[in-house]
Every structure is written in C-alpha cells, then in structure tokens.
Structure 1
Amino acid sequence: MDANPLIPTAYDVIFFALWVAAMVYTVVALVSAVRDRRVSGIRFLLWFLVIALVPVIGPTAWFVRRAREGEQAPGAAAD
C-alpha cells in the first residue's frame, strides 16, 4: 500500500484516528439507543437512523437528549 504523495503520513494517521473515534462514538450511541427502554416504535427507528447516518452530530444529539431527560426524570427531587 503506497502512501498518497500529496498528503503527509502524519495526516493519514490523524485522520484515521479521528475516523475510528467517530465510529466508536457512533457504536456507543447506537448501543445506548437500543438499551434505552423509554424510546420505542417510530421514535426508536428515527433516532437509530439519525445516529447511524449523521456521524458525530447524531450521537451527540442522542446523548444531549438523554442528559436532558435524565434531569427531568419523574420522581426527581425539585429544587
């Protein structure tokens, strides 16, 4: 496998590492969505597609949504 002469090897390594990190982040978000029992039906399908098809932004939106729902959990003590 020959390296691209127009792109230094260090950039190849950095871009590959960023790609791997984005894929791991996406897989973690997908697993989180599958395990979340509060989301089902069409909402689950839509979230699954957003997470899978919009890398980085989709998983980030999923985790932000989960954090906000966690703050508003029923039975939580109100300040």
Structure 2
Amino acid sequence: MITERQLLDLLQRVLETDDLLAVEPFHRRAMYYLDEAVAQNLVSARRAAQHKEQVNKHLQSLWARKHEAVYAQFEDPAR
C-alpha cells in the first residue's frame, strides 16, 4: 500500500531525473503505483491519467534527447 505523499514523491523523482537509464525503474514503479492509488481511491482515475501523461511525456522527451545525441554522432563523427 502506498500513501499519497509517497506517490507524489515518486512522481517528483521521475520528473526531476534527466538520466534515461536512471528514470526507467522509477517510471515503471510510478505507473504501477498510480494504478494502485486509483484502486485505493487515493486519487481519481482522471488525476492518475494526468500524472501518467506527464510522466510519459517526460520519458519521451528523454528518449528524444538520447536519439538526437546518437544521430548527431553519426552526422559529426568528431563528437
């Protein structure tokens, strides 16, 4: 069982992490706990969906930056 405070702390940790490898485990855990929080009536399904969208956008942003860095290496091998 997770408390609302623990859930919010976990979400904050995900959103503050800029390292893709470090954020992956937190991302998965956050998605699981958001579903659990809805089941326990800690947050509404609508609010949980908003949190999930925010977390997923952050993860997509990290992946986009990773891809840009990889593509940049191919375009400029001197990097």
> TM-score, with normalisation over the residues of structure 1?
0.42
Larger Rg, first or second structure (1 or 2):
1
Higher relative contact order (CA 8 A, sep 6+): 2
* Structure whose residues are more often helix by fraction: 2
